Chains A and B, each alone.
Chain A
Amino acid sequence: TQLLEQSPQFLSIQEGENLTVYCNSSSVFSSLQWYRQEPGEGPVLLVTVVTGGEVKKLKRLTFQFGDARKDSSLHITAAQPGDTGLYLCAGANFNKFYFGSGTKLNVKP
Chain B
Amino acid sequence: NAGVTQTPKFQVLKTGQSMTLQCAQDMNHEYMSWYRQDPGMGLRLIHYSVGAGITDQGEVPNGYNVSRSTTEDFPLRLLSAAPSQTSVYFCASSYSAGTGNSPLHFGNGTRLTVT
Please determine whether chains A and B interact with each other in the same assembly: yes
* Interface residue A31 (Cβ < 8 Å from any Cβ of B): yes
Number of chain A interface residues as a range: 20 to 34
Which single member of B42, B103, B107 contacts A2 (CB below 8 Å)? B42
Given contacts A2-B42, A95-B97, A98-B45, contact A48 B106 (CB under 8 A): no
Minimal Cβ-Cβ distance residue in B for A43: B106
Q: How far is the CB of B48 from chain A (nearest CB, A)?
A: 6
Q: Chain A interface (Cβ within 8 Å of chain B)?
A: 1-2, 4, 6, 9, 29-33, 35, 40-45, 48, 50, 88, 90-102
Cβ–Cβ contact B40 & A97, under 8 A: no
Which single member of B4, B33, B41 contacts A97 (CB below 8 Å)? B33
Cβ–Cβ contact A101 & B42, under 8 A: yes
Given contacts A42-B107, A42-B108, contact A95 B31 (CB under 8 A): yes
A-B contact pairs, 11 of them (CB 8 A): A1-B59, A2-B42, A4-B42, A9-B40, A31-B101, A41-B106, A43-B43, A45-B104, A50-B101, A96-B45, A102-B42
Given contacts A88-B43, A95-B48, contact A31 B106 (CB under 8 A): no
Cβ–Cβ contact A42 & B92, under 8 A: yes
Residue numbers in B under 8 Å from A50 (CB-CB):
99-101
Total number of A-B contacts with CB less than 8 angstroms?
A: 82
Cβ–Cβ contact A48 & B100, under 8 A: yes
Residue numbers in B under 8 Å from A29 (CB-CB):
100
* Interface residue B50 (Cβ < 8 Å from any Cβ of A): yes
* Bound complex: CA A54 to CA B35 (Å): 28
Q: How far is the CB of A14 from chain B (nearest CB, A)?
A: 25
* Interface residue B90 (Cβ < 8 Å from any Cβ of A): yes
Residue numbers in B under 8 Å from A2 (CB-CB):
41-42
Cβ–Cβ contact B40 & A101, under 8 A: yes
Which single member of B4, B42, B43, B99 contacts A92 (CB below 8 Å)? B99
Given contacts A95-B48, A99-B42, contact A42 B100 (CB under 8 A): no
